[in-house]
A and B are shown apart, each in its own frame.
Chain A
């Protein structure tokens, strides 16, 4: 099995479309679910999964089989999602559809009203994409910090700093709106 997967990776490096298809079928679910955690929209996550594998295909010659495919794919997926967040922010983000999905979680605190949740979600969308993506993965999705760090290509300490800054900016934004968490 190990030899088989290593041979697929070597074939992929040489540009084999069959090896690419094998890797695509093996990792599309992982890449999709990782992107979905960031963008929170299934249709966008599908588009970005295709975009990610397109970039992977383009970069096949630069891939080092020893580094492993999963982490590499995840970091390219994160970059694709980050580019999407940046483009969306530059275009003036459409937040209505995201906010429409803001049903209260089952264990929601009764003191936290729907209005506060909505304002928090909107404020979160106005954070710089780099801070937002770190906070989304580490705080909302509770992914291991080492995975987040590897996906973003930064250290664990840098992930902590980005999460800290994201939460501080969010708190300041909410305080301006009269909400004191």
Chain B
């Protein structure tokens, strides 16, 4: 398949996608002020900014374990780096 065919297929795909999902475009006006809802959110979680020192136990530990696993994988199997980058 040459580059011209590839470009043509991409152009057709773009057109089909735009017809399937028309742009939201100019119809994006916010109908009301969100500040009252924002205030409620701020009032509801006033302590969220205070770190307890144990927050890593609450959920971030999984992210850290996953990151550590990926580093170990990359060190032990350098050939896997392009595959990891592809899926990032």
Contact = CB atoms under 8 A, between A and B. Distances in A.
Interface of A: 17, 21, 24-25, 28-29, 32-33, 36-37, 40, 42, 46, 49-50, 53-54, 57-58, 102-105, 108-109, 112, 116-118, 120-121, 124, 135-136, 139-142, 164, 167-168, 170-171, 181
B63 interface: no
B64 interface: no
Contact of A37 (B17, B24, B41): B24
A36 B28 contact: yes
Contacts of A53: 38
A170 B24 contact: no
Contacts of A42: 31
Contact of A139 (B12, B18, B33, B38): B18
Given A116-B20, A121-B20, A140-B18, 11 more contacts: A24-B34, A28-B35, A40-B24, A42-B31, A105-B22, A108-B19, A112-B20, A124-B21, A136-B21, A167-B14, A168-B10
A181 to B, nearest CB: 5
23 contacts: A17-B42, A29-B29, A32-B28, A33-B29, A33-B30, A36-B28, A46-B34, A53-B38, A58-B49, A104-B19, A105-B18, A109-B15, A112-B19, A116-B16, A120-B21, A121-B20, A124-B17, A124-B21, A135-B17, A139-B14, A140-B22, A171-B9, A181-B12
Given A28-B33, A36-B24, A181-B16, A50 B9 contact: no
A164 B34 contact: no
A49 B32 CA distance: 12
A1 B38 CA distance: 26
Contacts of A108: 19
Contacts of A135: 17
B1 to A, nearest CB: 11
A129 to B, nearest CB: 12
A82 B34 CA distance: 21
Contacts of B49: 58
Interface string B33-47: 111011001100100
